[in-house]
């Protein structure tokens, strides 16, 4: 529960976005994310959507990191393919760093979409394979990425496989 001073600082802050969603866009997740953003819009929730703000070929990180800082709520959708994306892993590191720096000023929730928390923590299945590749290409970043994933699993969240169809979007919308 947030203290009154934390709540006051949140309400006095001008947020550019209500929610920032970090996800790795594959075919399976895209349908879910499209529904999520459509429901955000219908409910009047201002959500940062990377496709709307970052042009093709443009450097992502500065704009995306700025959006993370300017969003009241942060949501990370972990999927089997999340660990294959260095940019998603960098976003996660930034989100975790921001949470630790600002404590209660940011609310973060993790959504598991066709992925189990155990897979993330134990680095099994796709996570094991992709981190093997990352070790060869971006070795110095890998320890930060693994640490951020472990911290993320310890945050509140939803395993969509455990929620009835349709309940998942309602639960997420209540979070925002």
Which amino acids are annotated catalytic? 91
In degrees, rounded to 5, the angle at the alpha carbon of residue 114 between the alpha carbons of residues 109 and 117 is: 55
Within 13 A of 104's CA, how many CA atoms are on the CB side?
Answer: 11
Q: How far apart are CA 172 and CA 33, in angstroms?
A: 11
Q: How far apart are CA 106 and CA 95, in angstroms?
A: 9
Give burial (CB, 10 Å; 0-12/13-18/19+) of 173. Answer: middle
CB crowding 85-123: b at 16 or more within 10 Å, else e: beebbbbbbbbbebbeeeeeebbbbbbbbbbbbebbeeb
Name 114's bridge partners. none
């Amino acid at each position: 529960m947030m203290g009154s001073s934390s709540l006051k600082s949140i309400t006095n802050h001008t947020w550019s976005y209500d929610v920032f969603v970090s996800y790795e866009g594959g075919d399976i997740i895209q349908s879910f994310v499209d529904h999520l953003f459509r429901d955000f819009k219908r409910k009047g929730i201002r959500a940062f959507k990377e496709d709307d703000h970052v042009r093709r070929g443009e450097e992502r990180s500065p704009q995306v990191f700025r959006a993370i800082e300017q969003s009241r709520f942060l949501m990370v959708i972990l999927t089997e393919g999340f660990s294959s994306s260095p940019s998603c892993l960098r976003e996660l590191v930034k989100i975790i760093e921001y949470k630790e720096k600002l404590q209660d000023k940011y609310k973060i929730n993790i959504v598991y979409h066709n992925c189990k928390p155990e897979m993330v923590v134990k680095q099994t299945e796709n996570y094991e394979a992709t981190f093997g590749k990352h070790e060869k290409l971006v070795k110095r970043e890998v320890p930060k990425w693994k640490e951020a994933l472990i911290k993320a699993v310890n945050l509140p969240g939803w395993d969509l496989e455990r929620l009835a169809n349709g309940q998942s979007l309602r639960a997420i919308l209540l979070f925002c």
